[in-house]
C-alpha cells in the first residue's frame, strides 16, 4: 500500500466519503488511488476556491465532513477565503495540499511555498 491508498482508506475509515478536488501533477497518485475505491465520491472542481466553497456548503447542508484536494501552496492560498468562512461556521473539512517531490524543492520553483507557515 502506498501513501495515496493509505490516505483514501483513512478518509473512508473516518466516514469521509466525499472529496472536492482541484488536483495538479503532484496530486495524481491520490487521484489514481480513488479509482480503486468506488465508495469514495470525488467531485472535480476548476478552482481551489470552488473546492473549499463546495466542501463548506456540503457540510452545512449534510452535516458530513468532506475532504478537499488542493494543488500546491498557491492552491491553498486560493482556497483560504472559503476556509476562513468555513471556520467561522464551524464546518468540518479535511484539507490535503500537494507539494513538490522532495528532490525538486531545492530548485525554488514558482509554485513552491511554505504551506505549514
Spell out the domain ranges in the chain: 3-101
- pLDDT (tens digit per residue) in 9-44: 999 999 999 999 988 777 888 889 988 999 999 999
Neighbours of 1 (CB within 10 A): 8
Name the grid cell of 94.
479535511
Query: pTM of this prediction?
Result: 0.88
Q: What is the chain's Cα-based Rg? A: 14
Is the pLDDT at 116 greater than 90, yes or no? no
In terms of pLDDT, which residue wins out, 68 or 28?
Answer: 68
CATH architecture of 3-101: 3-Layer(aba) Sandwich (3.40)
What does the pLDDT read at residue 107?
84
Determine the pLDDT at residue 85: 96
Amino acid at each position: 500500500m502506498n501513501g495515496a491508498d493509505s490516505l483514501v482508506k483513512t478518509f473512508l475509515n473516518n466516514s469521509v466519503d466525499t472529496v472536492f478536488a482541484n488536483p495538479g501533477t503532484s496530486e495524481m497518485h491520490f487521484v489514481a488511488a480513488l479509482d480503486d475505491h468506488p465508495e469514495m465520491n470525488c467531485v472535480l472542481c476548476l478552482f481551489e476556491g470552488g473546492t473549499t466553497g463546495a466542501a463548506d456548503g456540503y457540510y452545512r447542508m449534510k452535516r458530513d465532513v468532506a475532504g478537499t484536494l488542493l494543488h500546491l501552496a498557491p492552491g491553498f492560498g486560493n482556497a483560504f477565503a472559503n476556509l476562513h468562512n468555513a471556520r467561522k461556521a464551524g464546518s468540518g473539512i479535511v484539507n490535503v495540499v500537494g507539494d513538490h517531490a522532495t528532490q525538486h524543492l531545492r530548485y525554488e520553483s514558482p509554485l513552491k511555498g511554505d504551506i505549514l507557515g
